[in-house]
Amino acid sequence: MHLTIGTVGVHQVDGALAWEAGLAIDADGSPHAYAPAGSMLPARDYLANAGRSGHWWGVVTDNGRADGEPILQGAGDPAPGYLVSPTALVDKTRHVRDPRRYVDSDTVPYLAVPRELREQGGVRMGDVALVAYWPSAKLQAAIVADAGPAGKLGEGSIALAERLGIPSSAKDGGASRHVAAVLWPGSRREPRWPRTAEDIEAQVADLLASWGGVERLRKVLAGAS
């Protein structure tokens, strides 16, 4: 299979998917991702990126639908006064209004993947990947934790950007190119979330070693398997 998403080619090699793109920053799941309009609270991202009154998609609402009212975090939550920002991967033991149910962009290196990669590439929430940023020569294990916009590949958490040495602001950070990834569809484990960073890193290290390592990733992206 060779899939093209936007301008990015995705290679399927020995049970893994590999690509090279940029990295847009996804703040979803951070307790500080979005603040109510007029609150003056410093948020990770612009509220417009979570929707608008009557049409919300990036925050939890009181009726669970786009036309509901956004839920405010309370005194016992991680960021009182901020809105609750969800991710597609969740801790099912926690209530939908609990910010801790979701994967925190501030602390967890994660990828957000578009519909095409899920429908045609077999990727599921909780699958794992290795992400490389060639200019910094840094590598980072990551988990697939959110859904990205259709037709766009190359989106990840604040924590992922920080670990790779990429400007991590969801408002003006990111990288336009040189971010490579190898992702293993079907690699998710139960429970899908929460998992420790050490567990994810160990799994990715084993998968990468069996697959052929970072040098193979370079060769695949250069056109040779």
Residue 207 in tokens = 């998968």
Interior/surface letters 1-27, b for 16+ CB within 10 angstroms, e for the rest: eebebeebbbbbbeebbbbbbbbbbbb
Which helix (H) or strand (E) element contains residue 155? strand 155-157
Residue 89 in tokens = 């991967």
pLDDT at 98: 98
pTM: 0.97
For 193-211, write each residue's pLDDT tens digit: 999 999 999 999 999 999 9
Short-list 202, 180, 224, CA closest to 18? 180
Q: Count CB-CB contacts under 10 A for residue 197.
A: 13
Give the confidence band of 2 by pLDDT, cuts at 50, 70, 90.
confident
pLDDT above 90: percentage of residues in the chain: 98
